[in-house]
Amino acid sequence: MVSATVGTGTALGAVVVSLLAAPAQAATPTGTNHAGTERAAVAAAAAPDDAGLRAILRTARSQGAPGAMARIDDNGTVHRLVEGVADRATGRTISTNDRFRVGSVTKSFSAVVLLQLVDEGRLKLDKSVNSYLPGLLPDSRITVRHVLSHRSGLYDYTNDMFARTVPGFEAVRNKVFSYRDLVKLSLKNPRTNAPGAAYSYSNTNFVVAGMLIEKLTGHSVGTEYQKRIFTPLNLTNTFYVHPGTAIPGRHANGYLNPDTAGAALVDSTKQTASWAQSAGAIISTPHDLDAFFSALLRGKLVSAAQLTQMTKWTRVNSNTSYGLGLRRRDLSCGISVYGHTGTVQGYYTYAFTTKDGKRSLTALANTSNNITVLNTMYRTLESAFCGKPATTAAARVAAPDAAPLERHEDIAPAITRD
């Protein structure tokens, strides 16, 4: 069953580009401009294509997602679309009010806390991580900026942890790791590149970010998220419950697709998410993610100087760049959107907003390890920000059989699946 509603409200708009980028490659920061200029403003954007979004959500369900949803905040006008179920056992329809695990969208929250600490004079982006956490890393040339931009060269421990999807998950579902445990897992492997030499996505980087937050503040990351972001923005449905295993209140269950074709989906809702922590353990809702990214791009969370640092881009592929805990996606209509993707067992999230924060999208499918669904959900960005396809090129991007645009990067980026 599909439902769609459009209304008005006062929610902050935001869009998180939340999922996975294409294969990593060497790149250099390109500053805040791209393709010569920022090519479009929200004022010039077409209205969201609700019919196109409905079709995308239906397609995702036909491809194996139990449910899918999208919420757009278009400068106070809210679009809500849903398809399928939040819980396969009860058959309850998925809702844009449901809470879910946001995965690597957490990285943007962690980056905001560290940039606030820069604003407070307690942290310097170009200072060695080891100057704050003595002896942690094997190379003192690795800076805070390298960590936040995935240019440290630190190996992603999830490559080994989740080389086999279901067995890997079940081995850590109820396990509690320390940050140092996770860093040690990374350091068992060679680094991928010299500090600053190339972009290479790694969850290890944002484990280090969590350690920096706790060292500099003397508090847990959960406390700092709450004090600095959740409470000021009134994100009442956003939580950091690690190492608790349950999602509080009404939520969408997550369903992990096994590697073996035809095997049953695994309900992966309950887990510590300790393997992710400051790299991926936040729980939220579409409303709260829209509000968060809108506030960030509107300059309500960090100073203009630090937002400029956050948006110094490293090119990842033809349509994706990475800043400091923030992704930029360049769409077919010339609009760029800003946010993050998120993959955690059972959930694919895209959360992005426009440069002025006035139009935001959060889209979710409650499955993972299904690259077909991942590619389908990417297309929600086109419908939300570009409107109905008006050109052949745009139509090709929005077409159900479009060439793959995404790959699994948020978890085990070196592992090729499907």
Q: Which residues are catalytic?
A: 104
Percent share of the chain, pLDDT over 90: 82
Structure confidence at residue 338 (pLDDT)? 98
Q: What is the mean pLDDT of residues 80-85?
A: 98
More confident site: 19 or 381: 381
pLDDT > 60? residue 305: yes
> Which has more confidence, 261 or 65?
65
- The confidence score (pLDDT) of residue 262 equals 87
Is the predicted pLDDT of residue 356 greater than 70, yes or no?
A: yes
Tell me which of 3-7, 25-29, 42-46 is least confident.
25-29
237 has pLDDT over 50: yes
Percent of all residues in the chain with a pLDDT value above 70, rounded to a whole number: 84
pLDDT number for residue 2: 43
**The predicted structure's pLDDT at residue 27:** 42
- Alpha-carbon gap, residue 371 to 356, rounded angstroms: 31
Which pLDDT score, from 0 to 100, does residue 395 have?
45
Q: Is the pLDDT of residue 26 over 50?
A: no
Q: How far apart are CA 360 and CA 44, in angstroms?
A: 15
pLDDT above 80 (res 117)? yes
pLDDT tens digits, 397-409: 444 444 445 666 7
Decide if pLDDT at 11 tops 90: no
Q: Which of 30-44, 79-93, 323-337, 345-359 has the lowest mean pLDDT?
A: 30-44
Lowest mean pLDDT among 2-11, 83-92, 160-169, 283-292: 2-11
Average pLDDT, integer, range 73-98 = 98
Mean pLDDT of all residues in 143-164: 98
Is the predicted pLDDT of residue 417 greater than 90, yes or no? no
pTM of the model: 0.90
* pLDDT interval class at 42 (50, 70, 90): very low
Residue 389: the pLDDT is: 86
Q: What is the mean pLDDT of residues 259-284?
A: 96
pLDDT at 6: 53
| pLDDT for the residue 274 | 98
Out of 98-102, 186-190, 238-242, 259-263, least confident range: 259-263
- Report whether pLDDT(22) > 70: no
